[in-house]
């Protein structure tokens, strides 16, 4: 009992006894059994986190927010990279359920609802990140991707651009919602949303350059480009510079997410600023409330977005 208390709550043990326990632990190389603790407490103190990419700075910021919330609460988290694949997501859910996590934080969920059903059957709470659910029995933290796409497109139209195009990669659900906002803004302005270049290829700066070249071939009269993320936008900007096309004189470029390089490019990049860190932190906070049996004030937390106009559009 003394050893157990020394390992779990060392402040409750007299210093002399604590030092003896620590010396024995060091000599034996003892590591407490997480599985045994889980069986004893019915809590694993683990949270499974699924994100589409570990190299994308968007999700790195979100993971930092999750860590800053879960760490002080005594939780560890398992990180899974779905690589924008529904099949990989399903595989990771199966793998992580075997570790008996107390909950899941998920960016994106398969459209069929099969995974949500499975997690509900396993009685594991799930908080969705970036996507705002409308279901009363779900939890989500994010913002309206469609509204963000609409806002950026309307800004381009208000600046006088009449033939804007949309380029996108990955084509995950969040991207397609941004596209829906783009198309809605054009229709409301009486314009035809037919200037698009879409690819399922992984997003990158290099791909942005290639897609800009394809756009100019497809629609040489295009006067503005809405890129579904900042990587593509920076690539498009570099391609314009390589071709000697003035930005925004000949063509405007706009991105999405407001990654750090966007403010320092030349010209600086007009974009949508997203609350990436706050999404991670507040999603983890919401999950902790659910796990502690505290009814949250809101099941769905809209952290909104900010239009950040700069020099490129």
Query: Residue 28's pLDDT is what?
Result: 64
270: CB partners within 8 A, 6+ apart? 152, 155, 252, 253, 254, 255, 308, 309, 310, 311, 312, 313
Sequence-distant (≥ 6) Cβ neighbours of residue 260 within 8 angstroms:
57
pLDDT tier, 5 (very low <50, low <70, confident <90, very high otherwise): confident
pLDDT band at 16 (very low <50, low <70, confident <90, very high): confident
Residues 38-48: pLDDT tens digits? 444 457 899 99
Backbone Cα Rg of the chain: 24
Helix (H, G, I), strand (E, B) or coil at 251: coil
For range 244-262, the mean pLDDT: 97
Geometric angle at alpha carbon 260, from 257 and 266, rounded to 5°: 100
The dihedral region occupied by 15, where left means phi > 0, alpha psi between -120 and 50, and beta the remainder, is alpha
47 φ/ψ angles, rounded to the nearest 5 degrees? -125, 130
Whole-number mean pLDDT of the chain?
90
Q: Is the pLDDT of residue 285 over 50?
A: yes
Q: Is 2's pLDDT higher than 80?
A: no
* Kind plus residue range of the DSSP H or E element containing 55: none
Interstrand relation of 271-273 and 306-308 (parallel, antiparallel or unpaired): antiparallel
User: Is the entire prediction scored with pTM above 0.75?
Assistant: yes
Displacement of CA 122 from its chain's centroid (Å): 25
């Amino acid at each position: 009992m003394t050893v157990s208390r020394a390992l779990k709550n060392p402040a409750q043990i007299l210093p002399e006894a604590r030092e003896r326990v620590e010396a024995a632990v060091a000599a034996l190389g003892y590591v407490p059994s997480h599985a045994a603790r889980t069986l004893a407490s019915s809590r694993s103190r683990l949270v499974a986190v699924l994100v589409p990419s570990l190299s994308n700075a968007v999700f790195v910021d979100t993971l930092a927010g999750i860590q800053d919330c879960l760490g002080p609460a005594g939780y560890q988290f398992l990180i899974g990279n779905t690589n924008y694949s529904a099949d990989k997501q399903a595989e990771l859910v199966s793998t992580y359920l075997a570790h008996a996590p107390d909950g899941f934080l998920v960016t994106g969920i398969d459209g069929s609802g099969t995974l949500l059903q499975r997690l509900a059957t396993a009685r594991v709470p799930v908080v969705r990140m970036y996507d705002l659910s409308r279901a009363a029995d779900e939890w989500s933290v994010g913002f309206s991707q469609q509204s963000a796409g609409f806002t950026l497109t309307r800004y381009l139209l208000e600046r006088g651009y009449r033939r804007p195009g949309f380029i996108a990669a990955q084509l995950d659900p969040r991207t397609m919602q941004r596209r829906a906002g783009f198309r809605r803004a054009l229709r409301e302005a009486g314009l035809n949303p037919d200037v698009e270049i879409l690819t399922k290829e992984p997003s990158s700066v290099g791909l942005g350059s290639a897609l800009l070249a394809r756009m100019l071939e497809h629609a040489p009269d295009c006067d503005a480009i809405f890129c579904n993320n900042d990587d593509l936008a920076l690539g498009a900007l570099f391609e314009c510079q390589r071709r000697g096309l003035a930005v925004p004189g000949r063509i405007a470029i706009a991105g999405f997410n407001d990654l750090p390089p966007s403010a320092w490019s030349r010209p600086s990049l007009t974009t949508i600023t997203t609350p990436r860190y706050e999404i991670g932190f507040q999603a983890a906070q919401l999950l902790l409330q659910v796990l502690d049996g505290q009814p949250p004030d809101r099941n769905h937390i809209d952290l909104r977005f900010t239009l950040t106009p700069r020099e490129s559009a």
